[in-house]
Amino acid sequence: MGRHGWNSGDRRWRLTALLGVGVAALALLVTLLNTLPGDGSTAGTTRDGDKVHGTPVTPSTDLAEPDVGWGFTHTQFSADEGSSAATERAEGLLKKIPLPQNQHIMGWGADNPEPVKGRYDFAALDRRIDFMRASGGTPVITLCCAPDWMKGGRSGVGSTDWSKAALETAPEPEHYADFAALAATVAKRYPDVRHFIVWNEFKGFWNNAAGRWDYEGYTRLYNLVYRALKKVNPDILVGGPYLVMDSLDPRAPEASKTFKGVWGAMDQRVLDAFAHWNRNKAGADFVVVDGSSYTKDDELLPDEFAATDKLTAVGRWVRRQTGDLPLWWAEYYVEPADGNDDRKGWSESRRVAVQAAGMIAMVKGGATSGFYWNPEEEKGPACPGCLWTPTDGGDGGKKLAMYDLLSRFGAEFPPETDYETVSVAADDVPNVRVLATDRVVLVVNTLDRPISANIDGKRFEMQAYEVKWLTR
């Protein structure tokens, strides 16, 4: 309608038009009020969150093993979305050598699962579980993070605060039982998932007044979740505490006086938190830690390869504390991040070589399972450290060097592997990292130059930072 219509029409038409606009405005206002943050809107949710989703993959045995092997964690972007050709390519890649796959229930690709108490939205998590089922491998769920209404935030669809500070807030103590109930709902929805990790890195469990971790609060939450999951199915396997095993400069006041090495000293506050959980846990089928080879100040002591010895030391310490519970690394890092939490400063050959050395170090510390934090990009030609190329385009989903390492490592060194010692020439000892079975030998050149190595009675050339597999 032209502008002049408002000025030249008769009064009755103008009144009708104004009334129509008023009704439309009122309807819009009602809609906005019903969707404003914190109003308790339940649009798109359901009450039957515990209804079994899709077609669960039947486990090969009734009893799941507490060790799952070497796999990866899905992050914000993964191969469940994008070009169909690319997602199918990535799915096919994983089918060839199935890897255990881990997914959080909220964040890192999953929406708020319970935006209103008793009302669930599992659409995003369903999609990730569907991908895990289709691509094979053991599915693992990390029970983190908590809906906003459990941590003093707003309730309602569309009200979730996705800031880092909000996401990393722990449930309030009065909602610990609600979080345990959510965990049970998740377990009922995906009955083929038998492995659950409780929470992530003690997020939100810091006692500012005492200057230490709130290990009492975490342990209370853990125990409620543990019991809730076992009530759903006693064969479900549960682990924690997923602590970040920080190391420090040995001169730091918080540094352990007894647990240290060339890589630094452990943070005594972390050791105290672990000890409390270990003494007071309701039970655990496996123990979970997280950490980096570098110190909290991003120092690689004495260098990036020797620093991985920390992962061995931590593993051995944890297994002594727990009586040899199966040891998982939920996350492990060997390359310090920049201010944006990106790890893009190294060449890919260096990154893969140090990663291989880190995985060897974890195995030597007694670890049987670990999850590579896949830094997948949504799009773009470059994806440092990723397992496959971004799936936004039809040519995406192609394997990258890190996938080659992870998949081969998982296939050659599954749980219960018997490792063997192999001969290494004296001149090569400081320059290589080695892991061997009766079938294969993994050799890593730690130098940024070619070497001539003599391993297991065989002499061969290695390029700078080369990762080489030998058949025995």
How far is C-alpha 91 from the chain's CA centre?
19
Q: What is the CA radius of gyration of the chain?
A: 26
Task: Supply 21's token pair.
Answer: 């606009």
Instruction: Please answer whether residues 363 and 370 qualify as being in contact, where contact means their C-beta atoms are separated by less than 8 angstroms.
Output: no
CA distance 408 to 355: 13
Task: For CA atoms 151, 155, 157, 162, give the dihedral sign.
Answer: negative
Cα distance between the two ends of the chain: 83
pLDDT < 50 positions in the chain:
1-37
Closest among 302, 240, 242 to 430, alpha carbons compared: 302
pLDDT at 193: 98
Instruction: Please answer whether residues 377 and 79 qualify as being in contact, where contact means their C-beta atoms are separated by less than 8 angstroms.
Output: no
Q: Phi, psi at residue 128, to the nearest 5°?
A: -65, -40
CA distance 336 to 136: 31
Task: Supply 60's token pair.
Answer: 């090969």
pLDDT at 421: 96
Q: Phi, psi at residue 274, to the nearest 5°?
A: -65, -45
CA distance 86 to 397: 5
Instruction: Please answer whether residues 64 and 194 qualify as being in contact, where contact means their C-beta atoms are separated by less than 8 angstroms.
Output: yes
Q: Tell me the pTM.
A: 0.91
pLDDT at 63: 85
pLDDT at 61: 67
CA distance 226 to 224: 5
pLDDT at 137: 87
* Residue 151 CB-half CA count within 13 A: 21
pLDDT digits (tens, 9 = 90+) for 25-64: 444 433 333 344 456 899 889 999 999 999 999 876 678 9
Q: Work out the burial of residue 455: count CB atoms within 10 Å of its CB; fewer than 13 is exposed, 13-18 middle, 19 or more buried.
A: buried
CA distance 442 to 418: 14
- Measured in residues, the chain has a length of 472
Instruction: Please answer whether residues 215 and 205 qualify as being in contact, where contact means their C-beta atoms are separated by less than 8 angstroms.
Output: yes
Closest among 407, 380, 352, 396 to 90, alpha carbons compared: 396
CB atoms within 10 A of CB 362: 26
The H or E element that residue 16 is part of is helix 11-35
How far is C-alpha 103 from the chain's CA centre?
6
